Structure 1
Amino acid sequence: MMLNKALECSTAYLLLGGNLGDREGNLKRAIELLNEKIGKITAVSSLYETAAWGKTDQPAFLNQAVALQTNLSALEVLDHALTIEQELGRVRKDKWGERLIDIDLILFGDEIINVPDKLQVPHPHMQHRKFVMEPLAEIAPDVVHPVLGETILAMSRNIEDPLEVKKIIS
């Protein structure tokens, strides 16, 4: 007789964004698909509008942070997120270019993951980007960055990113 081992559940924090098409509708549909394919959504931030970062000659982005509970590994979450992006029409052309949808895995529990050319968690630039930290601080203020040892809220208050991030829908 085999005993069923309970699957370990992890909290994944993702940042969604997009600057083409029905930005709000694309984020909403991405959240629905994340809930169906990856795990139970437990928190969703307000929508934030941000000027494009990195490549600035493009429309403003809508961004939103999401927390979900999953039994999948971080690499499986990433693979499913990339599949959802494709399902919603994402075409990868330019780094930091225009896109219908972008789904980034920012944190995965308290894990530190480095799979070269595939996945780094915590996201290596999160602490430098207001468009990541402000929505994340809304849903996970007390979560501690597993490398830097600071809470998300404290980190969000100390960012020197000059890019304006504007909350547009609560």
Structure 2
Amino acid sequence: MNAPPPVRAYVGIGANLGDALATVRSAFERLRPFGAMRRSSLYRSAPVDAGGPDFFNAVAELQPALDASALLAALQSIEADFGRQRPYRNAPRTLDLDLLLYGDLALQTPTLTLPHPRLHLRAFVLQPLLELQPALAAPGLGPLHAHLAATADQPIDRLAD
């Protein structure tokens, strides 16, 4: 009997407090034990629906051994290690790790929605995600490149690594 093909998961990484650029780079290292395979370039973007300094963002592609709920718990533990606090919705943050996609899983529970409910509305998610997988599609959203035009008014700069 053959084992099922490994799942590919995508994690959005963002930070805008403290040394945010160093934090995003450190987050990649913290994701290695969770099956980190590839990472996008780093991007700088203005906050969307929030205040505070600009964000540094990226996306990591994983091949996790954990199921989606366990991966989310691990991501939240890493956020806590970096001092993440949630005083209000869209507050500035030391580190934000969002589980964007977990294979073709479509899920809505009180703690986890997949695909991430706003991934198609954010240039800082779409651009690094499509850098990794230009033809990527998401359950219920279809090909993600089709959503790029709707984010054209969101300033974002790709950084030289």
**TM-based fold match above 0.5:** yes
Structure 2 residue aligned with 1:87, among 61, 66, 81? 81
Letter in 2 for 1:162: D
1:22 alignment partner in structure 2: 19
The alignment-based identity, stated in percent, is: 33
The gaps in structure 2 that reach 5 residues or longer are: none
TM-score (norm 2): 0.92
Question: Superposition pairs for residues 147-158 of structure 1, below 5 Å?
Answer: 147-150=140-143, 152-156=144-148, 158=149
> Could you say which structure has the larger radius of gyration?
1
Deviations 1:131-155 (A, max 9, x none): 11111110111121121222x3333
Structure 2 residue aligned with 1:130, among 123, 135, 144? 123
Structure 2 residue aligned with 1:35, among 13, 28, 32? 32
> What is the CA-CA distance between 1:69 and the residue it aligns to?
0.4
| Aligned-partner Cα distance in 1 for 2:47–2:151 | 16
| Aligned-partner Cα distance in 1 for 2:108–2:77 | 21
Deviations 1:92-144 (A, max 9, x none): 2121111110000001101101112x000001111111111111110111121
Structure 2 residue aligned with 1:165, among 140, 156, 160? 156
| Aligned-partner Cα distance in 2 for 1:105–1:27 | 15
Secondary structure, aligned partner of 1:169:
coil
| Aligned-partner Cα distance in 1 for 2:130–2:8 | 15
Secondary structure, aligned partner of 1:159:
helix
| Aligned-partner Cα distance in 2 for 1:161–1:17 | 19
Deviations 1:20-47 (A, max 9, x none): 11112111211111112x22x1211111
Letter in 1 for 2:146: A
Secondary structure, aligned partner of 2:137:
coil
The answer to whether 1:120 aligns with 2:117 is: no
TM-score (norm 1): 0.87
| Aligned-partner Cα distance in 1 for 2:5–2:64 | 8
The gaps in structure 1 that reach 5 residues or longer are: none
